């Protein structure tokens, strides 16, 4: 399949707008579950307000949150997909910039030192673009995630001592959730990376935080850790928006990588309750949008 980068540009533009306006079905189902199980009266009222906010935003074609986030595009190339990588990246940047100008969207991206804002949601190395590969033959998939600063500011890395084992991982994650409190606009998805190098570990935490609810870590030990931590964090009493209650988190997600015998990196990255993402699959026949 030969990829038309003009089509990629259009898709990148559309995905940014869709991600900001429509909450994925799995997150809505997560809200319904938390609302059903919430035992704190105040927490239940807050959840009801949050659910109503989502309904109003979608019914009036407004943004789910004023924070348009730092734009992240995850690209997956099938075996028989042919495209110039430089042109592909340039097309995604153009699409991101067009969404910001043409919608228009608030640009949240600035130079890290001068704080200059180009008002294009782009800058040096932004949008963030990750490329992976798939067994699927004639398929190019693009996922767009606008990661808000309220969640991204709550990110941690610890180079744990291997001898301390799983208990050290669990303590670190719980301490991070307590430290974040209501700053991440809970209920959250708590992403945990374990293993790899320091930079890979942080990346894995981000992958975990932006996974769909209901998905499970491929590694059985990671899945076991997910189940244990998901139960514990909702016993901390932080609750929705940090105002108390049971619904601190939709889930804890874990991603693992092999690591060095004398290291055990652990990272935490959180996703806020407005866990926005949008996905498109390009094939020779059509472009299909979803989550």
- pLDDT (tens digit, 9 = 90+) per residue, 24-75? 999 999 999 999 999 999 999 999 999 999 999 999 999 999 999 999 999 9
Query: Tens digit of pLDDT for each residue in 214-250?
Result: 999 999 999 999 999 999 999 999 999 999 999 999 9
Distance CA 237, CA 242 (A): 8
Q: Please indicate, yes or no, whether residues 95 and 162 belong to a single structural domain of this protein.
A: no
With H, G, I as helix, E, B as strand and everything else as coil, classify residue 148: coil
**Are 282 and 248 contained in the same domain?**
no
The distance of Cα 279 from the centroid of its chain, to the nearest Å, equals 12
The verdict on residue 178 lying in a domain is yes
Smallest CA-to-CA distance from 157 within 263, 52, 249, 258 is with 263
Q: Give dist(CA 27, CA 274) in Å, integer.
A: 8
Examine the domain organization and report whether 252 and 187 are in the same domain.
yes
Cis peptide before 187 (omega within 30 of 0): yes
State how far the Cα of 209 lies from the Cα of 137, in Å rounded to an integer: 28
Residue 36 domain-assigned? no
- CB 136 within 8 Å of CB 275: no
30 lies in a domain?
A: no
Judge if 171 and 134 occupy the same domain.
no
Binned at pLDDT 50, 70 and 90, residue 278 comes out as: very high
Same domain, 74 and 217: no
Tell how strand 155-160 and strand 249-257 pair up: unpaired
Give, to the nearest 10 degrees, the angle between helix 25-37 and helix 41-59: 160
Tokens 């606008």 belong to which residue? Answer: 146
Do 121 and 202 reside in the same domain of the chain? no
Both 9 and 141 in one domain: the answer is: yes
- Count of alpha carbons within 13 Å of 272, Cβ hemisphere only? 25
Are residues 222 and 127 both part of a single domain? no
Query: Would 171 be classed as within a structural domain?
Result: yes
Of 94, 1, 58, 42, whose CA–CA distance to 274 is shortest? 58
Q: Are 11 and 283 in contact (CB under 8 A)?
A: no
Q: Which helix (H) or strand (E) holds 168?
A: helix 165-180
Does residue 155 belong to any structural domain of this protein?
Answer: yes
Q: Which of 226, 219, 229 is nearest to 257 (CA)?
A: 219
Residue 59 included in any domain: no
15 and 79, same domain (yes or no): yes
Query: Cα 183 to chain center, whole Å?
Result: 16
Same domain, 80 and 173: no
Q: Which of 84, 75, 200 is nearest to 132 (CA)?
A: 75
Q: How far is CA 233 from the centre of its chain?
A: 19
> Does one domain contain both 162 and 243?
yes
User: pTM here?
Assistant: 0.95
Q: Count the neighbouring beta carbons within 10 Å of the beta carbon of residue 234.
A: 24
Task: Say how far apart CA 71 and CA 52 lie, in whole Å.
Answer: 26
Name beta bridge partners: 189.
251, 271
Does 205 fall in a domain?
yes
The predicted-structure confidence for 144-200, as pLDDT tens digits, reads as follows: 999 999 999 999 999 999 999 999 999 999 999 999 999 999 999 999 999 999 999
Residue span of the structural domain in which 154 resides: 150-271
Kindly state whether residues 12 and 125 are assigned to the same domain.
yes
What is the per-residue pLDDT for 111? 98
Note whether residue 207 is domain-resident.
yes
Map residue 84 onto helix, strand or coil. Answer: coil
State residue 55's pLDDT score: 97
Q: Which residues on neighbouring strands pair with residue 126, listed in sequence order?
A: 123
Domain count of the fold of the chain: 2
């Amino acid at each position: 399949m030969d990829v038309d980068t003009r089509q990629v540009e259009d898709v990148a533009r559309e995905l940014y707008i869709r991600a900001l306006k429509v909450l994925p079905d799995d997150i809505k189902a997560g809200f319904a579950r938390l609302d059903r199980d919430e035992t704190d009266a105040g927490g239940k009222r807050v959840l009801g307000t949050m659910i109503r906010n989502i309904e109003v935003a979608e019914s009036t074609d407004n943004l789910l949150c004023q924070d348009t986030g730092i734009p992240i595009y995850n690209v997956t190339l099938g075996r028989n997909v042919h495209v110039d990588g430089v042109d592909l990246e340039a097309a995604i940047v153009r699409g991101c910039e067009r969404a910001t100008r043409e919608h228009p969207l608030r640009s949240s991206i600035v130079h890290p030192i001068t704080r200059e804002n180009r008002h294009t949601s782009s800058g040096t190395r932004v949008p963030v673009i990750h490329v992976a590969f798939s067994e699927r033959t004639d398929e190019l998939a693009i996922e767009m995630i606008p990661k808000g600063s309220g969640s991204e500011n709550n990110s941690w890395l610890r180079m744990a001592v291997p001898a301390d084992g799983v208990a050290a991982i669990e303590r670190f994650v719980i301490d991070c959730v307590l430290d974040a409190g209501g700053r991440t606009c809970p209920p959250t998805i708590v992403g945990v990376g374990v293993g790899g190098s320091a930079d890979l570990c942080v990346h894995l935490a981000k992958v975990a935080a932006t996974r769909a609810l209901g998905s499970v870590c491929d590694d059985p030990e990671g899945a076991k850790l997910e189940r244990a931590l998901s139960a514990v964090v909702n016993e901390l009493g932080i609750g929705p928006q940090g105002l108390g209650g049971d619904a601190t988190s939709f889930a804890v997600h874990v991603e693992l990588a092999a690591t060095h015998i004398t290291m055990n990196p652990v990272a935490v990255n959180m996703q806020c309750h407005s866990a926005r993402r949008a996905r498109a699959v390009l094939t020779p026949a059509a472009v299909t949008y979803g989550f």
